[in-house]
Structure 1
Amino acid sequence: MRGFLLALACGCVLSVATMQDLLPAPAPVAPVGGKDFLAQAKRVVDAATRPAAPWSGPRSGPRAQSGKRIAVVAEDLRNGGILGVVDGVLEAAKVVGWSVKIFDSGGAADLRLKMLANALASRPDGLIIAGGDAHALLPGLRPFAERSIPIVGWHVATQPGPVPGTPVAMNVSTDPLQVARVTALAAIVQSGGHAGVVIFTDNSFRIAQEKADTMAAVVRACSGCTLLEVRDVAISHSQHLMPGTTRALLAHYGSRWTCALAINDIYFDYAVPVLTQAGMSNAAMIMLSAGDGSESAFLRIRTGTFQTGTVADPLNQHGWQLVDEMNRLFAGEGVTGYVSPVHLVTADNLAADGGDRLLYDPNNGYRDIYRRIWHRP
Structure 2
Amino acid sequence: MPKESAQPWTLARRAELMNPSFIREILKVTERPGIISFAGGLPSPKTFPVDAFAQACAQVLRSDGAAALQYAASEGYGPLREAVAAMLPWKVDPDHVLITTGSQQGLDLVAKILVDHGSRVLVETPTYLGALQAFTPMEPQIVSVDSDDEGVRVEDLDGKAEGARFLYVLPNFQNPTGRTMSEARRAALSARAARLGLPLVEDNPYGDLWFDAAPPLPLSARNPDGCVYLGSFSKVLAPGLRLGFLVAPPAIFPKLLQAKQAADLHSPSFNQRMVSDVLKDGFLDRHVPTIRALYRSQRDAMLAALAREMRGLDVTWNTPVGGMFLWARLPAGVSAVDLLPKAVDRGVAFVPGAAFYAEDADARTLRLSFVTASHEQIDTGVAALAQVIREATKR
TM over 0.5, shorter chain: no
Q: Which has the larger radius of gyration?
A: 2
TM-score (norm 1): 0.33
TM-score (norm 2): 0.32
